[in-house]
């Protein structure tokens, strides 16, 4: 909600406005002026500044770090935010994490593919995935926020695209 909406929101919720804000919401504050936009217009503006997931299509864009043995791969996502969670990665899963470190290698070896929020071509995830010939997409910025544990995701490792197939 923005500044003048709390009282009116208590009286009646505008479903059309809520649906537009589910797509995207942008609030711009400049020189004592506040503007906002919702829906597709907001998504267009946001994409100019951020790596925004296409929520309607469930698509995330990243950087191809390794194509691996397959250009297209589908599997179950396992979100690992700390080294304590690495044990939940099973053979064939897709490891989704903020970034990897040498402690993650045991999970990387089990995983069929890797997706990270941060990193580039010289990141740990990129180097290890190339050595192990596993598909890897890095620098998505939002994978751990958009993908949930157990989601079925598809990597298009030739294009750097991750698609959430089933939540």
pLDDT at 71: 80
Q: Find the length of the chain.
A: 167
pLDDT at 107: 97
pLDDT at 42: 83
State whether the Cα torsion 129-83-162-27 is positive or negative: negative
pLDDT at 4: 64
Distances (CA, A) of 37 to 5, 45, 92, 136, 138: 14, 9, 42, 35, 30
Domain boundaries, the chain: 6-49, 59-166
Distance CA 7, CA 9 (A): 5
- Each residue's pLDDT expressed in tens, for the chain with a length of 167 residues: 566 666 666 667 788 888 888 878 888 887 788 888 998 888 778 777 665 556 566 889 899 999 988 788 999 999 999 999 999 999 999 999 999 999 999 999 999 999 999 999 999 999 999 999 999 999 998 999 999 999 999 999 888 999 999 87
Structural contact between residues 68 and 137, judged by C-beta atoms closer than 8 angstroms: no
The angle formed by the CA atoms of residues 165, 53 and 1, to the nearest 5 degrees, is 120
What phi, psi does 54 have (nearest 5°)?
A: -85, 95
Right CATH number for 59-166 from 3.90.1170.10, 3.40.50.10490, 3.20.20.140, 3.50.30.10? 3.50.30.10
pLDDT at 118: 96
Residues serving a catalytic function are: 124
In which residue are the tokens 């989601």 written?
Answer: 151
């Amino acid at each position: 909600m923005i500044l003048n909406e709390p009282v009116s929101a208590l009286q009646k919720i505008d479903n059309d406005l809520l649906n537009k804000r589910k797509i995207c919401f942008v609030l711009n504050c400049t020189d004592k002026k506040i503007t906002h936009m919702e829906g597709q217009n907001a998504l267009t503006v946001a994409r100019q500044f951020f790596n925004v997931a296409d929520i309607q299509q469930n698509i995330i864009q990243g950087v191809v770090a390794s194509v691996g043995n397959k250009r297209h791969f589908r599997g179950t996502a396992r979100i690992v935010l700390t080294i304590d969670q690495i044990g939940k990665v099973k053979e064939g899963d897709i490891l989704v994490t903020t970034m990897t470190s040498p402690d993650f290698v045991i999970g990387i070896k089990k995983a069929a593919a890797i997706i990270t929020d941060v990193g580039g071509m010289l990141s740990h995830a990129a180097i290890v995935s190339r050595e192990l010939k596993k598909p890897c997409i890095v620098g998505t910025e939002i994978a751990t926020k958009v993908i949930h544990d157990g989601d079925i995701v598809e990597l298009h490792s030739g294009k750097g695209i991750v698609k959430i197939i089933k939540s």
